[in-house]
Amino acid sequence: MSIKTNFEHILLFISLSCFLIFLGCKRIPATQSETLHYPPFHIEKTNVTAKQYKPNEGTMSEITRTKYKIMYKDQLITFPDALDANADVSGIWKTYFLADAPVPALLVASKYVYIVTEENQSPLITPIANNFSNYASIQWLDADNGQPGPKTQILIGEDSTDCVLKGGNFLLINETTVVRMKDLELFHFIHNTDLSEGYTAYQVVGFSPDHSQIVFMGSKSDELTPTQFIHALIVYDFQTNEAYTLPFDKTQMRLHLPYKADVHWMNTYFNWQPIDSGQYRLTEKEISQSPGWEGYYTENSSYELAPVSKEMHATLARFIIEHLQLEQDAVEAKAFGNLEKFTITYQNIVLDISYVNELNTVSVSSSFMNKGNEESAQALIHELGDAFNEILRKGDYQSLFTSY
């Protein structure tokens, strides 16, 4: 065989190897199995690891997914075809043992959710809720001193837990069904805009003292300005499938980001009034003067002040320069259309203090030049934000805030 032919074979092998890597192939995926016993059921978990190519990054990464088999007295339980309906990946995505149920019970989910119990010496599979458009979710309504805990989405991934779910008596599934743990009774309710004056519910905020009403944050387009939204609390009675709304003013109630509203905010401006037969109704409090404004942190770890006048931009920049004792050459002013900003450098950390005229918002954010130093930049942003909030709590600069 000629040298040329050998060389061609080598090139072919290299090309084929690169092509297989590009497809994310791995000869033998790594697996790790575990069996969890919750008689008469047991859960077989298998963690499967394989390599996957990320085209946006041009790199290979290891992806681990847990696969489940649910056994009843050593016999495999087969679930309805609806389990895989509209699912990105077939099979069970997550399994929980319901520790506080009165009988052995499992919650099994993909985008469809089931509860599995035992009846007449056989497994009983009860459909709970589906979520064809989004991922399934679970959330305790009473896990945090009788108030909602964090929402958990059911996603494909690695499960290193013992699959035990506990912490409350009322479990909200897909925001449409409540499971009462003490007797596994199901309450289905409908999110209907006809019941909520056109508002669409999108986040749980609170739970009533009589454990019958869920408070959601809701919004709808303003009829006069369709590009803007108005907000209200929507209260659903999941036992009667009735609802009522409490519209509110974001400025008066100092709500910068409606999706971050929590029970503390709700209790500041609303309260539960007892009515007939031991029931309650949520009402707005009478507050003579709203609390002072403060800055807030966003999901991307920036610190923001809104709604504010343009003067707040220079005021915050001056405060930061003094707080960090910066020299003038550490500050650079820039402007791009409706965006004005000061870029500051402090101990190899670069921050942008920006003002967007159309949004009436001033923000402090990490510059793209902080790559590899993001944690230090975020820590500095929180130091500055906390310090400026202390000034605002004293009543300073409140006149620089406007309205939504």
Q: pLDDT for 200-250, tens place per residue? A: 998 999 999 999 999 999 999 988 887 889 999 999 999 999 999 999 999
Residue 26 lies in a domain: no
Question: Are 250 and 179 part of one and the same domain?
Answer: no
Whether residues 217 and 148 fall in one domain: no
The verdict on residue 12 lying in a domain is no
Distance CA(254)–CA(404), nearest Å, equals: 10
Residue 184 and residue 66 share a domain: yes
For position 56, what pLDDT does the model report? 63
Residue 239 located in a structural domain? yes
CATH number, domain of 322, equals 3.30.310
| Boundary-marking domain end, from 237, 254, 286 | 286
Burial of 296 (0-12, 13-18, 19+ CB in 10 A): middle
Residue with tokens 């919004």: 219
Average of pLDDT values for 147-166? 92
* 115 and 232 belong to one structural domain: no
Number of domains in the chain: 3
For residues 60 and 173, state if they share a domain. Answer: yes
Domain residues for the domain of 373 are: 296-400
Same domain for 181 and 203, yes or no, is no
Nearest to 295 by CA among 371, 385, 174, 402: 385
What confidence score (pLDDT) does residue 160 get? 84
Residue with tokens 């290193």: 160
> Residue 372 above 60 pLDDT?
yes
Task: Identify whether residues 181 and 248 lie together within a single domain.
Answer: no
Mean pLDDT of 27-53: 83
Which residues are 245's β-sheet partners? 234
Q: How far apart are CA 15 and CA 6, in angstroms?
A: 14
If asked whether residues 276 and 300 sit together in one domain, one would say: no
Average pLDDT in the chain: 89
Last residue of a domain, which of 132, 164, 188?
Answer: 188
Is residue 390 domain-shared with residue 255, that is, in the same domain? no
Nearest-10 crossing angle of helices 374-393, 311-324: 110
In a domain, 81, yes or no: yes
DSSP 189-241: ----TTTTTTPEEEEEEEE-TTS-EEEEEEEEE-SSSTTSEEEEEEEEETTTT
Instruction: Choose the final residue of a domain: 188, 216, 234.
Output: 188
pLDDT tens, 342-351?
999 999 899 9
Nearest-5° Cα angle at 320, 382 to 302: 35
Share above pLDDT 90 across residues of the chain, in percent, rounded to a whole number: 67
**Cβ atoms of residues 342 and 333 within 8 Å:** yes
| Residue 10, pLDDT above cutoff 70 | no
Write down the pLDDT at residue 22: 37
Q: What is the mean pLDDT of residues 258-278?
A: 92
Residue 328 forms part of a structural domain: yes
The answer on 243 and 217 residing in a single domain is: yes
Q: What angle do CA 80, 86, 89 make, to 5 degrees?
A: 85
Torsion of CA 232, 233, 237, 243, to 10 degrees: -10
- Please list, residue by residue across 361-385, b when 16 or more beta carbons sit within 10 angstroms of its beta carbon and e when fewer do: bbbbbbbeebeebeeebbebbeebb
Q: Tell me the whole-structure pTM to 2 decimals.
A: 0.84
Q: Do residues 67 and 211 both lie within one domain?
A: no
Residue 396 sits in the same domain as residue 253: no
H/E stretch holding 318 reads helix 311-324
